[in-house]
Structure 1
Amino acid sequence: MRRQTLSRRRFLAATAITTTALATPFVRHAHAAGKLSIGLWDHWVPGANKASTEVAQAWAAKEKVELTIDYIPSQGNKNLLTIAAEAQAKSGHDMLAMPTWWPQAHADLLEPCNDIMTQLISQNGQVNDTVRYLNRAGDKWLGVPSTIGSQIKGPCSRIDLLKQHAGIDIQAMYPAGSAPKADGWTMDTYLKAAEACHKAGVPFGVGLGDTTDSVDTAGAFFLSFGAALVDAKGELTVKSDPVRQALEFCVKAAKFYPADAPAWDDGSNNRWLVSGRGAMIMNPPSAWAVAKRDAPQIAAQCWTHGMPAGPKGRYAPFLPYFWNIWSFSQNKPAAKSLLVAMSQPDAVAKFVAASAGYDIPSFEKLTTLPTWAEEGPPKGTLYHYPNPHNHQTLSIAASPAPPKIAQQIYSQATLTKMIVRHLQGEPMERTLAWAESEVEGFLRG
């Protein structure tokens, strides 16, 4: 954990950050100042933490707040351990960055953010349904969606290999600077392309393990068939036709993935792309960024684009981060003011640029920033990454089950385990019976 205690002198010495619309009613009054302690995700992109520090410094200098920032890594789940420890102790940071499911897990201990979310939505546009699903409890907004750390895990394809072996011009289908021309990019097309690339010795690098990259991809495929193990009302729907269809498709596709795909972790698909052995992976731009550094000839052939469409639509895996304020915070007004400052368009643009396009804002008006159009090589490779034309639904695996049930389905990798069991020869109905028994246990718990 890297800590910076930021004095006012250091704030004033820092480069000024132009941040618009900071006239919020939360801090600036006769008794402004005080202390604020925040915990942010320790970004893997060099320089990204510097951007968030600068934005926070500029705000703190203006509001005369003594600010302490901790950068908390996700390696070894240190961020999750910090969240759990502070929730139990009811003491710690005033504000923490929480990934995906964790605001719901601690909803009773979070300060409502309805006031600032109303302001931010009016300014920046609506948020997507996955943000609403994860960041609302009844009428209560649990926090603010964080640009930093939020990501879409869509396809990153090799331009040359898809064209050579599958006859797909992915740049023509997803042209930089304009809307997709992807009506023909369906599950059937995906399956045929996966088979062709497998025969050519460059299989799609899609994992079937129990870590998030594998689960996220399986979840998007299931949703594209309208398949859910539990519906929004909390009712079991494992033994349904959509689940059978989704499972059948995923097993057909899995036969064309690498033989060791069931053992893959979240680093496997990154290594697969950089090695040059595969024609496609499902990942945010992290793998492409590593290729740009370590294998530039491969990076120059990479194109990030949308998911194939299924019978019920086109769904992309989306994992948002959130900034949440504890109900036991000692300075809630200051924390809310800072979150408004960090959600301004200028601040968001700075975060996106510092992350080389990795970070995704959740507000609809902030998905066309220049970074995604300009990043390369090849130039425009990330243009479609933030879903600027809303041509796919941003989703999370195991939804629309009630979030506390969905989190268990997700964390236990029930979807990928179903695929692997059936892939290894277990009859479908036996696989479904196993899954139903597992989910019944989650519902009882």
Structure 2
Amino acid sequence: MKKDPITRCTKEHPGGPLLKIRSWNSFAPTSDEKLWEQIEKFAEDQKITVQFDTLDHRIIPELIEKQIQEQSGYDIDFLADEAPWFYRDHLYNVDDLVRDIQAEHGELYDFARDSTLVEGSWKAVPWFWFAFPGVYREDHFQEAGVSAPYNWEEVCEAGRVLRQKGHPHPVGIPVNTLLDTVDFMVAFFSILWGFGGKVLEKDGKTPALRSPATKNTLEFFKKLYENAMGKNERIFLWDESGNNQFLLSGRGSWILNPIGVCVDAFKERKEFADKLGVHSTPAGEDGKRYAYVQFRCLGIWKFSKNKELAKTLLRYLFQSKTYLEWIAAGSGYNSPPFRKYETHPLWLNHPKFKVVPGEAQFGHTASWPSPSNSNSYAVNKSRILPRMVASVIRDGETPENAMEKAARDIEKLILTRTTRGKK
């Protein structure tokens, strides 16, 4: 669901600098409100003016490309996943800042380090991540006599049983080929990695989709679509809120989704929220759990005329008291990328969210098991992967032809980037 941009500006201090920061419209809006409150305090203390814009995260990459061309725009920007690799030539090194933040908050998870530490230099500040556990209707599962699924095969079987019990489309996973849907990507990588597959080889350039693992993944998606989703054609139109609405409508029984759907339900529909359960990411074919972690960071652009001031703001936002107040404001949606907070009571004392911190233990970047690279980020933004899956489950293409076409599309994409001098 596209959200309208919001522009906020602190009290103007004539003659002082204007610092501009851009972020997303969070699915936990209270965290945006807390961040704005903190920015206002910083601006008043420093006697500067700060413009804080939040907007739909899906359009941010396009706007970033525009400001890189113009060498003008925001001082601090919201970056997703391995974007620091993609924009590394344009991002200001923040080695000293990350060093100080780690001294205060401790060791980072591997996926946070791998996404932001680019060829020996920190190109962005790790900010937060969010998990995609299984979220399900406990009452539907109990009535059908099935337990919360341990692995993807059990998700498929639970869906089959639930359909027999009168739920025509119990499982919901978006497979939109026109819009970026993180929910699809998380499910895709979890299943692919469980079969031992990957998208790119270790060189970060060669497609790795021509493999038995990809074929098994596509065949499993087809089974999932037919047996557990009941061939629900709406999944091809869902944006990132589609599966949330599907579950909250009462029609859906299981989705792979951040806990934001539960947070919203607890605030607005407590009786309904009590029927929701949360379980760990389903294990793959090999019995192990894999999670494509949604990781977010903050970068400072080289063209910024306020680099040191931008670093000062980030230092303030990452002071323990300030940072943890912001984390708490999101009701557990935003998880710190620092290992020391795994036992934070925000999650462990919550009746539904205990599994969330543990999801980081098997979290990876999209490049995994290959090293982080910029081509992986480019492939994810190209929608080649959802098109591959949709061609099999919706259009009747064979897995062999679908993965061959996807591999060729990736080769063309990387060749184009190489020709343009992209690393």
- Distance in 2 (CA, whole Å) between partners of 1:328 and 1:335 is 12
The offset of 1:387, in angstroms, is: 2.6
Identify which of 33, 40, 53 aligns with 2:36: 53
The offset of 1:437, in angstroms, is: 1.6
Q: Name the counterpart of 1:336.
A: 311
- Distance in 1 (CA, whole Å) between partners of 2:19 and 2:386 is 42
The offset of 1:414, in angstroms, is: 2.6
Identify which of 390, 396, 411 aligns with 1:425: 396
Q: Structure 1 residue 160 and structure 2 residue 139: aligned? A: yes
The offset of 1:307, in angstroms, is: 0.9
- Distance in 2 (CA, whole Å) between partners of 1:47 and 1:430 is 46
The one-letter amino acid of 1:251's match is: K
Q: Name the counterpart of 2:411.
A: 440
Report the RMSD for the aligned CA atoms in angstroms: 2.8
Q: Name the counterpart of 1:3.
A: 8
- Distance in 1 (CA, whole Å) between partners of 2:192 and 2:199 is 9
Partner SS state of residue 171, structure 2? coil
Q: Name the counterpart of 2:421.
A: none
Contact 2:85 2:373 in 1 (8 A): yes
Q: How does 1:211-226 map to 2 (within 5 A)?
A: 211-212=180-181, 213-226=183-196
Q: Name the counterpart of 2:161.
A: 196
Unmatched 5+ stretches in structure 1: 9-32, 171-183
Q: Name the counterpart of 1:279.
A: 253
Q: Structure 1 residue 230 and structure 2 residue 200: aligned? A: yes
Number of equivalenced pairs: 399
- Distance in 2 (CA, whole Å) between partners of 1:244 and 1:221 is 11
In structure 2, the CA distance between the partners of 1:136 and 1:316, relative to structure 1 (3 Å rule), is same
The offset of 1:3, in angstroms, is: 2.2
Q: Name the counterpart of 2:229.
A: 257
The offset of 1:318, in angstroms, is: 1.8
The offset of 1:426, in angstroms, is: 2.2
Identify which of 56, 63, 85 aligns with 1:74: 56
Contact 1:166 1:192 in 2 (8 A): no
Q: Name the counterpart of 1:327.
A: 302
In structure 2, the CA distance between the partners of 1:43 and 1:69, relative to structure 1 (3 Å rule), is farther
Contact 2:82 2:372 in 1 (8 A): no
- Distance in 2 (CA, whole Å) between partners of 1:139 and 1:393 is 22
The offset of 1:99, in angstroms, is: 2.6
- Distance in 1 (CA, whole Å) between partners of 2:269 and 2:185 is 27
The one-letter amino acid of 1:435's match is: A
Q: How does the TM-score come out when normalised to structure 1? A: 0.81
Partner SS state of residue 47, structure 1? helix
Query: Identity of paired residues, percent?
Result: 22
The offset of 1:281, in angstroms, is: 0.8
- Distance in 1 (CA, whole Å) between partners of 2:145 and 2:367 is 28
In structure 2, the CA distance between the partners of 1:86 and 1:75, relative to structure 1 (3 Å rule), is same
The one-letter amino acid of 1:5's match is: T
Q: Structure 1 residue 292 and structure 2 residue 266: aligned? A: yes
Deviates more, 1:223-232 or 1:417-426: 417-426
The one-letter amino acid of 1:342's match is: L
1:5-49 Cα distance to aligned partner (Å, 9 max, x none): 2468xxxxxxxxxxxxxxxxxxxxxxxx86533233343444323
Q: How does 1:42-441 map to 2 (within 5 A)?
A: 42-62=25-45, 64-74=46-56, 77=59, 79-147=60-128, 150-168=129-147, 170=148, 185-202=150-167, 203-210=170-177, 211-212=180-181, 213-233=183-203, 234-255=205-226, 256-258=228-230, 259-260=232-233, 261-310=235-284, 311=286, 313-374=288-349, 379-387=350-358, 390-396=360-366, 400=370, 403-423=373-393, 424-441=395-412
Contact 1:109 1:327 in 2 (8 A): yes
- Distance in 2 (CA, whole Å) between partners of 1:399 and 1:57 is 42
The offset of 1:189, in angstroms, is: 2.5
- Distance in 2 (CA, whole Å) between partners of 1:301 and 1:408 is 39
The one-letter amino acid of 1:337's match is: T
1:250-284 Cα distance to aligned partner (Å, 9 max, x none): 22222221421233322210111111112211111
The offset of 1:205, in angstroms, is: 1.4
The offset of 1:330, in angstroms, is: 1.9
The offset of 1:196, in angstroms, is: 1.8
1:338-366 Cα distance to aligned partner (Å, 9 max, x none): 21222233223211221222112111112
Unmatched 5+ stretches in structure 2: 1-5, 417-423
In structure 2, the CA distance between the partners of 1:415 and 1:197, relative to structure 1 (3 Å rule), is farther
- Distance in 1 (CA, whole Å) between partners of 2:333 and 2:143 is 28
Contact 1:151 1:319 in 2 (8 A): yes
The offset of 1:138, in angstroms, is: 0.8
The offset of 1:402, in angstroms, is: 5.5
- Distance in 1 (CA, whole Å) between partners of 2:140 and 2:29 is 30
- Distance in 2 (CA, whole Å) between partners of 1:87 and 1:245 is 40
